[in-house]
Amino acid sequence: MTAIALRPPEVVMRLQRLGAAHPTRLSFLRQLIRRATSEQWRVRKYLFDLDDNGFGRAVYAVDTPVRTYSLVAFSTPLDDEKRSDRVIAQAWDTSYVLYDGLPDAADIARLEANAPLQEAGRYTRSELVLARANKSVRLFEDVASALAQGRQPDEEQLLGVGYLLRTTAVYGNGKFGIADRDEISSRPELAGSFQAEMLTVWLIRSFTLDLADHVARRRNPAGAARLAPDLRRALGVGNATGLGMAPFLVRHPLLTHSWFLARETALARVRAEPQAGAAERDAFSNALADLRRRIARWHSDDSRQAAATRILAADLGALAENLDQLLAKPRPWDALYRFAEDHFSLEGQEACVSLILEPHGALIDDLGDTMKADETPGHAIDGGMSCALLRQALLDSYSWARAIDFAEPSASARFWYVSAEKLEPRLGERFEEDGAELEQPLATARDALGLAAALAKEPSTTSVADFLLRRPEWRHAVRRAQIVAKFPYAEIHDNLIGAELRPVDILRAKLAFFGARSFDPRSDRWLRIALFSGEPLIEDVATMAGEAA
C-alpha cells in the first residue's frame, strides 16, 4: 500500500482554510466523550440548592476510575442591561469552577464569594477551571414557560439557537490562581489538550438543562413537563469567543503543530485505505445526513458565513449524489477527497475531511494522544548554527511570506497589543491609533523577513549565538524560525498584521479543534459557537458503553 502524502502546511495553514475548519472525531470534546464512555464515568447531583427563580448553588460530581471532579455552579440574578458577551462584562447569570475532588461546605462558601466575581476573585490549586455563562434570555424563558405549561418548547426555535446558556469565558492553566496545567498533565483523564475545560463545559450543559426543568417545576409543581430526552441531547452549550483567544495558536507553536499534524495524518491514513467496508459506508452516510441536518439549522446573520453555508449545503448535496460512484473506486476515500478538492468550496473540502475521518475510529483515534505538547520548558535555541544556514531555513519555511510587500502600509495596517484596561489582546490600527510601539510579537511574517534581512548582513559563518549576543531584539524570531523549520504546522501561512486579516478565521480553527459547531461570526473578530450539541449527555455515558461516541 502506497502512503498518501500529508496535505502540506502551505495548503493547510492558510487563514481562509483555517476559517473553514470543521470539528472531527479527533476534536477534544469527542476525545473526552470517548474516554468517559469507555471508562463509564458517573455523575452525581451532589447538591442542587436553587430557589423558585433558579438562583442558588449546585454541585455535580463526576467519578472517573481514579479521581472525582466536581462542577460547582452558582446562579445569580442579573439585570438585563448587564448581560454582555464582552470580556469586559462584570456580572453574569451563572458562574462555575471545576473543583479537584469533592468540595466541602467551606470550599463552596469560599467559591460562592469568588466565582461570581470571575477575574476579580481569587482561586486556589483545588480549582482546575473557572467559567461563566449567560442565558439566551428569550429562549430560556420560552423553554421554562412551555415546560411550566406542561408542554415541550418549539423544537425549531430551540434547535435554531441550539443552547440555553452561552459561556463567555472558560479559563484554565493557572489563571487567577487556579491550578497550573502541570498539576493535571500527568493524569490520563485530563492529559490531553483542553480536557479539563471540555469536562467543565459538558457538565455546564447538564446544569443548564436541569436549571430550565427546575424553574418550570417550581412554577407549576403539579403539571410541569420535563424537557424531552431528544431535545436535551440536541442542545449544547453556547460560547462567545473574541480576540483574546486569537494569539493562542501563535504563542503555542508546538501544540498547534501537534494538533494539525494529527488531523492531517489521520486524513492521509484514511485516504490510503484500499477500499470502503460496508460499516464505514454506513457510518459515512449517517455522518453526512447528520451534517446536512445541522447545516439546514446553521444560522448566521454574517453575510459571508451565510453565503458559505449555502454553498456548503450545495457541496454536500453534490457529494451525496456522487457518493456511490466515488466509493466504488479504488482508494475510495482518496477519490472522495480529491473530488471535494476539485469541486467544492473550502467549507466543503474541510467538511469532507471531517466526514471522511468519522467512520474510521479504529484507524485514527490513537492520534488523539499525540495532540499535546509540553511547552513549559521552553524551546532551546541552537546557537551553533551559522547565520547563513538559519537564513536559508527561514527563506525555505517562510517562502510564502516573501509575497507580502511590507513597504505597503496595508501590509502592516494592524498591530496586536494588550489593553491596559482589561489585560486582554486587542488589535489596533497602526496608522490611526497610538500604542504601536508597544506591539506584541505576533507579526510573524514581518519579523521572519526582517530577521532574514538582518542575517544577510552577517558574515555567513557567524554563529547565531554571536548574532544574538549583539542583536537580542531578534531572539523571539530566531526561536520561532528554528521551531517552524522542525515543526511545519506550527505557523499560520498568512500575514497577521495586514489590513485584510480576519481574526475570526484563527478563532474558528482553534474552536473546531475543541469540537465546536454552528460558527456564527458576529464581526471579523468575534463569533458564537455551540459545543456538545447532539452529543451524549455526561450523565448518560455510564450506561451507554459500547455506543459509538
Partner 1 sequence: MIDLSLNEVETLSAKAARGAGFSWGLAEDIGRAARRIAVEADNWGQAMLSLAEHAQSFEPPSPARAARWRSGETDAATGGPLCPIRTAALLLDEPLPANVMPLTILDVGLPVWLDAMLSRSAMRVARPAGLATRADVVIESRAETEQSDTGRRGAIDERTLAALNSFAARTYVPESERSRLRGAGGGRVDDE
Instruction: Rule CB under 8 A: choose which of 109, 137, 314, 320 binds partner 1.
Output: 137
Provide φ and ψ at 369, rounded to 5°.
Answer: -65, -15
Instruction: Rule CB under 8 A: choose which of 183, 272, 338, 365 binds partner 1.
Output: 183
96: which 3 cell numbers?
Answer: 462555575
Report the length, in residues, of the chain.
549
* DSSP state at residue 535: S
Residue closer to partner 1, measured from CB, 7 or 181? 181
311/16 Cα distance (integer angstroms): 15
Restricting to residues 149-168, name those near partner 1 by CB under 8 A: 161, 166
CB of 521 to partner 1, least distance (A): 9
How many residues bind partner 1, per CB under 8 A? 81
Restricting to residues 481-520, name those near partner 1 by CB under 8 A: 503
Give Cα separations from 443 to 83, 130, 139 (angstroms). 34, 30, 42
426: which 3 cell numbers?
Answer: 486587542
Examine residue 28 and tell whether it contacts partner 1 (CB under 8 A). no
Examine residue 119 and tell whether it contacts partner 1 (CB under 8 A). no
276/233 Cα distance (integer angstroms): 30
Instruction: Rule CB under 8 A: choose which of 441, 450, 534, 536 binds partner 1.
Output: 441
* DSSP state at residue 198: H
* Residue 51: Cβ within 10 Å count: 11
CB of 409 to partner 1, least distance (A): 18
Restricting to residues 399-438, name those near partner 1 by CB under 8 A: 417-424, 426-429, 433-435, 438
169/127 Cα distance (integer angstroms): 15
458: which 3 cell numbers?
Answer: 552577517
Examine residue 245 and tell whether it contacts partner 1 (CB under 8 A). no
CB of 369 to partner 1, least distance (A): 21
CB of 452 to partner 1, least distance (A): 16
CB of 446 to partner 1, least distance (A): 13
Rg of the chain taking only CA atoms, in angstroms: 24
Residue closer to partner 1, measured from CB, 346 or 477? 477
Q: Which of 295, 293, 324, 290 has its CA nearest to residue 311?
A: 295
Burial of 476 (0-12, 13-18, 19+ CB in 10 A): middle
Binding mask 455-484 for partner 1 (x = CB under 8 A): --------xxxx-xxx-xxxxxxxx-----
Instruction: Rule CB under 8 A: choose which of 283, 311, 383, 540 binds partner 1.
Output: 383
Examine residue 139 and tell whether it contacts partner 1 (CB under 8 A). yes
- The residues that bridge with 99 in the sheet, in sequence order, are 70, 127
CB of 456 to partner 1, least distance (A): 20
CB 76 within 8 A of CB 114: no
Instruction: Rule CB under 8 A: choose which of 101, 150, 177, 274 binds partner 1.
Output: 177
Residue closer to partner 1, measured from CB, 381 or 544? 381
Instruction: Rule CB under 8 A: choose which of 42, 44, 175, 430 binds partner 1.
Output: 175
Residue 73 parent element (H or E): strand 68-75
CB of 205 to partner 1, least distance (A): 17
Examine residue 124 and tell whether it contacts partner 1 (CB under 8 A). yes
